[in-house]
Homo-oligomer: A and B are copies of this chain.
């Protein structure tokens, strides 16, 4: 009926609530209140809480893919594409300082819960991993491409955890500058290293 279906609205609100409060701590009632529908009505759209989580993960996978495709389509140099990834930390710094990385914290929580969906959540980080690997390969860095991609994931996830712990914006900017410096040093390194 509505321009955006109720189902999509549920997934959108659930995504935000899972991010800001955690999956386990978010109840059906919380989501229903955020969407503005009755608790019972939920059952029509999602049979279980896990089904909502599944939809939330699918939505994140799709959005991530779209974002990466957009960066890819812009025709920018691979270096600039990698910088787009790094600067997500700056662009989302307010929420990161409050709740950490939406993907990293979800993966951590689902790992602890030993939840069936943990591998699907990990795939989101896998999308970044593959895409970053591709960027390094496009730069002629073949042998170490995957390791560099993993290192960027490590660095950004670490910044997110520490940023949420100490709530220090200057720290984020310092680390991001450090990542960019690291990247530029990589790109002028002799080809034999790659």
Contact = CB atoms under 8 A, between A and B. Distances in A.
A140 interface: no
A154 B162 contact: yes
B158 A174 contact: no
A87 B193 CA distance: 26
Contacts of A174: 147, 150
A107 B98 CA distance: 11
A73 to B, nearest CB: 27
Nearest to A118: B165
A108 B147 contact: no
B24 A125 contact: no
Contact of A150 (B109, B150, B151, B171): B171
A53 to B, nearest CB: 14
B178 A162 contact: no
Contact of A99 (B105, B112, B150, B154): B112
Contact of A154 (B21, B104, B122, B155): B155
B158 A159 contact: yes
B158 A125 contact: no
A191 interface: no
Interface in A63-116: 98-100, 104-105, 107-109, 111-113
Nearest to A22: B112
Given A21-B113, A99-B111, A157-B158, 20 more contacts: A22-B109, A22-B113, A24-B24, A24-B25, A25-B112, A99-B112, A100-B111, A105-B108, A108-B108, A108-B161, A122-B165, A153-B162, A154-B158, A154-B159, A154-B162, A154-B175, A157-B157, A157-B161, A158-B158, A161-B161
